[in-house]
Chain A
Amino acid sequence: MKDGGRGNDFRFRKARAHAPHPTALERKPGGFIISKMSDSTVETLEQTSVPTLPEIFLGFLGIALSGFGGVMPWAQRMLVEKKKWLTPEKFAEDVALAQFLPGPNIVNLSIVVGSRWRGALGSLVACIGLIGAPVALMMILGALYARYGDAAWLSGPLAGLSASAAGLVIAMAAKLAAPLFRGKRIMAISFAILSFIAVGFLRVPLYWVLFVFGPLSVAAFWWRLR
């Protein structure tokens, strides 16, 4: 019985998730990019599904437990590639939102996707799945550290881990950039390269880039979409 109920709920949710897109298309028939973007959303929504609460919990637990030296690449792997709960485009949008809000990006991401899937409870479950086990582990390691007071032996493995983790982030950046290059979206590519240079090479403080380039980039797209 319970399972049947949940199944119905699942289908209902899915149907609701579909509903706004055709109207979005009808409402914006003229905007080239908008209709193009909506098209891809509609097309890819068919392949994504809305997870249940236990699935959300386990998904984020898995992300957390894989996340050595950084969690975001593992979120991409789990949510987009393995579970197909998000399209690559949707993932990029959600990461963008999470990044612009204060707090740990990955925690923000869990709140954003959890709330879209299952409301407040979804957010809570995603967040607890994400940080519950690592927090418990931190406390155990904290107790060990307080007792033995030395983490110098970690420096060797950590050097290897950091080098490897950097590679994961490179791959993640490449996966996020690929749709921009495939679509030959010149303006998007330009803004991506500008912020890369500003933060990576010129070492401009991040908030500067976020709050100066951000509005500029949004204004440029607003002007283009109008």
Chain B
Amino acid sequence: MRDDSPIGGFILTALFVSVVAVGGVNAVLPELHRQVVDINHWLTDKQFADMFAIANASPGPNMLIITLIGWSLGGFYGAIVSTLALCTPTCALTYLVAQAWEKFKDAPWRIAVQAGLVPMTVGLIAASAYLLARAADHSMMAYAMTAATAGISYFTRINPLWAMAAAAALGHAGLV
């Protein structure tokens, strides 16, 4: 018999991960893996990798790997409570900051902060695009899929879902 149910511990992990996740899920994935697999042995390495794949392949925020782990550790309520732990505190904080942010809309300091942060965001998103492409592209076909999706999305009004569906089909056929 375990001394405590894993879901309780995992909820704390979800809270922690949520609060330190500045800049998105990719920033905290190694920490999540460390907590869930290495330290607490809630999941095996393969289970974690599988869940990461499922969360990535299904629509919605990739951060919902938390929901998936919560489900496997605590069933329905485990999934719900883990998701709430992931979202509620940071949503509340964001709401409060957004209110204040809106109130100081015309304050010179806010205009400076905004002007300073936007270029960094552009750089960070470009960096994550580069890192994602480097992680995903190991073949000529993969490079071609990346380039084609980027081109379709930037230059045309065609829905990029078509490119993604084609890429997934090619991957399924073992061509990527």
Q: Are A209 and B116 in contact (CB under 8 A)?
A: no
User: Which residues in B have their C-beta under 8 angstroms from that of A64?
Assistant: 59-61
CB contact between A100 and one of B22, B143, B147 (< 8 Å): that residue: B22
Q: Are A104 and B21 in contact (CB under 8 A)?
A: yes
Q: Are B61 and A107 in contact (CB under 8 A)?
A: yes
Q: For the complex, would chain A's binding face be called helix, strand, loop or mixed by DSSP majority?
A: helix
Closest-CB distance, A97 to chain B (whole angstroms): 6
Q: Are B98 and A218 in contact (CB under 8 A)?
A: no
Interchain CA distance A209-B54 in the complex, whole Å: 30
User: Which residues in A have their C-beta under 8 angstroms from that of B67?
Assistant: 134-135, 138-139, 142
Closest-CB distance, B88 to chain A (whole angstroms): 10
- CB within 8 Å: A-B pair count: 397
B12, CB-defined interface residue at 8 Å:
no
User: Which residues in A have their C-beta under 8 angstroms from that of B136?
Assistant: 159, 162-163, 165-166
Residue of B whose beta carbon sits closest to that of A185 = B119
Closest-CB distance, B145 to chain A (whole angstroms): 4
Given contacts A123-B95, A192-B122, contact A68 B90 (CB under 8 A): no
B146, CB-defined interface residue at 8 Å:
yes
Residue of B whose beta carbon sits closest to that of A94 = B98
Closest-CB distance, A43 to chain B (whole angstroms): 17
Q: Are B61 and A67 in contact (CB under 8 A)?
A: yes
Total chain A interface residues with beta-carbon distance under 8 A: 111
Q: Are A101 and B56 in contact (CB under 8 A)?
A: no
User: Which residues in A have their C-beta under 8 angstroms from that of B98?
Assistant: 97, 111-112, 115-116, 123
User: Which residues in B have their C-beta under 8 angstroms from that of A221?
Assistant: 112-113, 115-116
B39, CB-defined interface residue at 8 Å:
no
A158, CB-defined interface residue at 8 Å:
yes
User: Which residues in B have their C-beta under 8 angstroms from that of A34?
Assistant: 108, 111
Interchain CA distance A66-B163 in the complex, whole Å: 12
User: Which residues in A have their C-beta under 8 angstroms from that of B160?
Assistant: 73, 77, 164, 167-168, 171
Q: Are B142 and A163 in contact (CB under 8 A)?
A: yes
Closest-CB distance, A168 to chain B (whole angstroms): 5
**Interface size range on B against A:** 35 or more
CB contact between B93 and one of A101, A151, A185 (< 8 Å): that residue: A101
Closest-CB distance, B89 to chain A (whole angstroms): 8
Q: Are B58 and A142 in contact (CB under 8 A)?
A: no
Which of A92, A152, A159, A175 has the largest number of chain B CB atoms within 10 A?
A159
CB contact between B87 and one of A67, A107, A146 (< 8 Å): that residue: A107
A174, CB-defined interface residue at 8 Å:
yes
Name 18 A/B residue pairs within 8 A (Cβ), A-sorted: A67-B59, A69-B62, A70-B132, A99-B24, A102-B93, A134-B58, A134-B60, A151-B54, A156-B171, A164-B166, A174-B150, A176-B121, A180-B119, A191-B123, A193-B123, A195-B123, A200-B130, A217-B116
Residue of B whose beta carbon sits closest to that of A218 = B116
Q: Are A106 and B97 in contact (CB under 8 A)?
A: no
Nearest 6 A/B pairs, CB to CB: A134-B60, A103-B90, A160-B171, A167-B149, A195-B123, A218-B116
